Chains A and B, each alone.
Chain A
């Protein structure tokens, strides 16, 4: 029973294309996140939503657009893909949003390769 799932697991595409990654969590959490892990395994937050509201929006090119249709889903759409977008993208979720330091639960990742 997967807690945080992402599709697709692998995504190979050409420069200039537009692609989407989907994330779903069945933990009943209120908050979801997108992270980017680069080739050196460095992990950085991109966005976070709480109950469909954008609450964290890091310095990310506006080619990246998150969308949360409901609190269990958070999708990431990327326009005009560039070589530098190649990375592993992780979705995560946590209970609540603030203060108590809730741990985050991560999906399996989507490995995006731009050629």
Chain B
């Protein structure tokens, strides 16, 4: 079955330190991968995606993610965390068996807590 795993329920980091939120995937073929962020009581906001091309993808708010095909990973990173980055982060992959449609399979989410 196609799936996405976010192995950490929560990540804690001090403000100013680099952050990494992990994501691994299991899909057939070449994956379309996405990161979304959800702030409290808000909808999800798109951060970045990997479709093809450079393995390092840059996105909104200084976030970037590295696609690693051999490790089937798509970890989200930021060089210097801000308190305002504290939120729930979702990794998602397009279901390759969705008849060509944009059906996304979401991971369980990782709560990022950035401490002052």
Contact = CB atoms under 8 A, between A and B. Distances in A.
Contact of B43 (A31, A45, A48, A107): A107
Contacts, number: 67
B92 to A, nearest CB: 8
Top 3 A-B pairs, shortest CB-CB distance: A106-B43, A101-B32, A98-B100
Nearest to A105: B46
B90 A56 contact: no
A106 B90 contact: no
A109 B46 contact: no
Contacts of A90: 43-44
A62 to B, nearest CB: 20
Interface size class of B (residues with CB under 8 A): 20 to 34
A93 to B, nearest CB: 10
B94 A109 contact: no
Interface of B: 32, 34, 36, 38, 41-46, 49, 51, 88, 90, 94, 98-104, 106, 108-109
A86 interface: no
Given A44-B106, A45-B104, A56-B103, A100 B51 contact: yes
